[in-house]
Structure 1
Amino acid sequence: MQNRQHKIAFIVPYFGKLPNYFNLWLKSAKMNPQVDVFFFTDNEEPQGLSKNIHWVKTTFADVKARAQSLIEFPIVLDQPYKLVDYKPLYGAMFQDYISDYDWWAYGDIDTIWGNLELILKRTEDEYDKILELGHLTLIRNNERMNSLWHNKVEGAWTYKDAFKSDFIYHFDEGGGMSFIAKKSGCKIYSEGPGQMNFADVCPFTSQFELSYDNGDGKLPHVFTWRNGVLTGYWAKANKVECKEYAYVHLQKRKMQIVVDDVASENGFLIVPNKFLPLGKKDITSSFIESQHSEAVSEVKNEQFVKRLINHLKFLKFKAKGRKRHIPLNGNEVYFGIEEAKY
C-alpha cells in the first residue's frame, strides 16, 4: 500500500445512497488533513477529492467476507445498517490498508467535522482507546486492541450476541465495546457529560437540543462552520453563549441544503433542518429562537407487521440483557449519569 502521510486512519464502509450533504462533510474532512479517510463503497468517486480521502470501490459482499473471515461461525450481516455492530472489527478487517497507521477510527458521516484536534491531541498520550460513542471512536492500531472485540466480560454483550442476530446491538458503544475495553484494563480517554468536545444532537426532538448536557443545559443550538472551525450557539436568558466543537452529529436528520457549493467553501450555518449561507449577521438570541419555531421532524409510518416484528425482537433483546445484567442504557451507565435499566 501507499506510504503513510498521517498517523490516523478513519475507516468508513458505506453502501447505498449518500447523505445529501455529503459534499459538506467532505469539505469538513478536507480541513482535517491529519486524518486519512478510507471510504469503502459502491458509490462512484466524486471529483476533486482532497488528498486525505481514499476512495476504495468495493461491494457490500466483499466487506461481509472480510468480517466473516474473522469469525468462527456464520455471521448475520444482510443489510448495510447492521455494519454498526461490526465497527470494532474494522481495524482487523482492513488491516491491509492501515497497517502503517498508529491509530484507526470508526464513526459516522451524518456529521460535520470542525477542528478534530480538540480530540485528536489525545493520541499523543498513552491511551489505548479514545471516546466511546459510535460516531467517533479511536483505537490504537496494535494486535491487542484490534482483537479486543473478542473479549468476554461480565455485564457486556459479546461479539457472538451481536453477530448471530439481525437485531442492532450497538456493539460499538455502551453495553458492548465501552465496557469490554474498561473491564479489560485498557487505558481510555473519555469525555462524559460536562466535558464533551462534540455535539451529539438528540434525534427525538425537532430542535437542535443535545443528548448530553455540556454546561449548555441541552438548550437548542445553531452551528456555524467557518474555515474548518465549528461553533455551537445557544441562548440563555436572552444572552448568547457559544462553544467550539470537534464535530456535530446530525443523527436521523433530513436536512435541506440552501447554500451553494461556492458559498459553502468558507462557511455555512447549520440550523435544525437546513444548511444556510453563513452571511455576516451576528448570531442573536432571537435568531436562534426563530430557527426552532417550526416543527422539522418527520415520523415515518412503518407497516404494522414490521413494527410488530421489531418490537418482538426488542423484547427478546431486553430479556436477554436483564438475565445477564447488561443495561439497556449502556452509554448513560458508562458515563455514570443514570442507574442501569434492564
Structure 2
Amino acid sequence: MQSVKQPSICILIPYFGAWPFWMSIFMESCRYNSSIDWILYTDCGTPDNCPGNVRVVDITYSDYCRKISIFLNLKFMPENSYKLCDIKPALGYIHADELVGYDFWGYSDIDLVYGDLRAYFSNERLQSKDLFSTTGRRVSGHFCLMRNTEEMRSAFMRAKDWRQVLSSNQHAAFDEKHFSKIFIRHKNSLSIIRTMAAKFDSWLTKAEFNETYVTPNARIPWVDGTYNFPTEWYWTNGIVTNNLTGGHGFPYFHFMVWKSKWSKSAMTPMLDLGNMRSEAVFTERGITVV
C-alpha cells in the first residue's frame, strides 16, 4: 500500500535583538522535527546548534520593517519590535515567494520547545481545515498553521480596520483578537446560533480551535479543570511530556509564564547542551539538562 505524502510545512519567525539563553534547546527541538522547515529573519546572527532544516536570513530590524511597509502598502516602523506580533497573520503574504512549494505555513514564538509536531499535525488533521490553532477560543499567537493558499495568505485583510491597526505603533494583539474574529464568532452563544451563523459565513468553518494545554500556569485551567499545573516539563529526544500526564506527548511546551521568573534572576548564560545525556527539564526555576 502506497504511503500518503506528508504535507510540507514552513514556519516563519522574525526575531530581533539577542537570542535568549534557551535558544540552543529551541534549535534542538527543530532538529528533531526534521520534516518541517523554519525560516528566521533576524539581526542576531546564526544561533549555535542550528540544524539543516532552519534557515537564517540576516536582516536589520529597520530593513525588515521597510519590507513589511512595501508589501502591505502602509507605514510600519515601530520603535518596539514587540509590534511584530501583530504582523504574524500577514507573514505568509509578506513572504509568499519563499513559501512556494509548501502546503502549509505557520508562525511561532521562540519561548517554547517543540515536541513531535507531526504526531499532532497528522496528515488526517491537516486535510480537515485551513487554519489550526492550538488554543480553544482564539487564534493562538504563539503558534499557528495555515494552508498555503492565496486565500489564507491574505486572510488577515478580512479583519476590520487591519490597515489602521497594523500601521499603529501600539501593539494591538492583532494576531489573537482581530484575526480570530474572521474564523470564530458568537463563541459565547448557544450552539444553534453558532451553527446558523456558519451557514451564512463559510469562514466560520475553515479553522480548528483545539485546546492543547501547551501554555500552562496561565488563565486556562489544566486538563482536569483545576489550576493544578505540572511543576516539571520534559523534552526527551524530541518528545514533550510533564510530571502530571505521564507519557502523553504534547506538540510543544510554551513557557511564557515561567520565563518571566527566569529573567528576574542573575544573567543566565546560554544553555550548554554539551553535557546533555537524555533530556532537558523545565521548572519555574529554569532549565537544566540531564
**What TM-score range do you get, normalising by the shorter chain?**
0.7 to 0.9
1:231 aligned residue: 241
Distance 1:64 1:200, change over 3 A: same
Aligned 8 A contact 1:6 1:36 in 2: no
The 1-side partners of 2:236 and 2:269 are apart by: 16
Which gives a bigger RCO, structure 1 or 2 (Cα 8 Å, sep 6+)? Answer: 2
Amino acid at match of 1:49: C
The 2-side partners of 1:226 and 1:274 are apart by: 16
1:248 paired to 2:259: no
Cα displacement string for residues 214-235 of structure 1 (whole angstroms, at most 9, x for unaligned residues): 226231311111111110123x
1:145 aligned residue: 152
Aligned 8 A contact 2:86 2:166 in 1: yes
Percentage of identical aligned residues: 22
Distance 1:170 1:118, change over 3 A: farther
Cα displacement string for residues 164-194 of structure 1 (whole angstroms, at most 9, x for unaligned residues): 3222211111x221221346345212213xx
Aligned 8 A contact 2:111 2:254 in 1: yes
1:214 aligned residue: 223
The DSSP-based 3-state class of the residue aligned with 2:256 is coil
Bigger mean CA deviation after superposition, 85-94 or 67-76: 67-76
TM-score by length of 2: 0.79
The 2-side partners of 1:67 and 1:42 are apart by: 16
Aligned 8 A contact 1:77 1:163 in 2: no
1:166 paired to 2:166: no
1:178 aligned residue: 180
TM-score by length of 1: 0.68
The DSSP-based 3-state class of the residue aligned with 1:9 is strand
Over alpha carbons, which structure has the higher Rg? 1
Distance 1:12 1:123, change over 3 A: farther
1:66 paired to 2:67: yes
The 1-side partners of 2:162 and 2:38 are apart by: 26
The DSSP-based 3-state class of the residue aligned with 2:55 is strand
1:89 paired to 2:85: no
2:217 aligned residue: 202
Deviation, structure 1 residue 23: 0.5
Aligned 8 A contact 1:130 1:189 in 2: yes
The 1-side partners of 2:68 and 2:247 are apart by: 42
Aligned 8 A contact 1:201 1:249 in 2: yes
Cα displacement string for residues 281-316 of structure 1 (whole angstroms, at most 9, x for unaligned residues): xxxxxxxxxxxxxxxxxxxxxxxxxxxxxxxxxxxx
Deviation, structure 1 residue 6: 7.2
The 2-side partners of 1:135 and 1:259 are apart by: 22
1:126 aligned residue: 128
Structure 2, unaligned runs of 5 or more: 1-5, 134-138, 185-200, 263-267
Bigger mean CA deviation after superposition, 110-119 or 263-272: 263-272
Distance 1:267 1:6, change over 3 A: farther
The 1-side partners of 2:34 and 2:235 are apart by: 17
Deviation, structure 1 residue 47: 4.5
Deviation, structure 1 residue 212: 3.6
The 2-side partners of 1:59 and 1:260 are apart by: 27
The 1-side partners of 2:163 and 2:215 are apart by: 29
Amino acid at match of 2:252: Y
Bigger mean CA deviation after superposition, 253-262 or 269-278: 253-262
Counterpart pick for 2:275 among 263, 286, 293? 263
Aligned 8 A contact 2:28 2:49 in 1: no
2:136 aligned residue: none
The 2-side partners of 1:104 and 1:44 are apart by: 23
Structure 1, unaligned runs of 5 or more: 204-209, 235-239, 279-342
The 1-side partners of 2:269 and 2:246 are apart by: 26
The 2-side partners of 1:6 and 1:140 are apart by: 10
The 2-side partners of 1:52 and 1:92 are apart by: 22
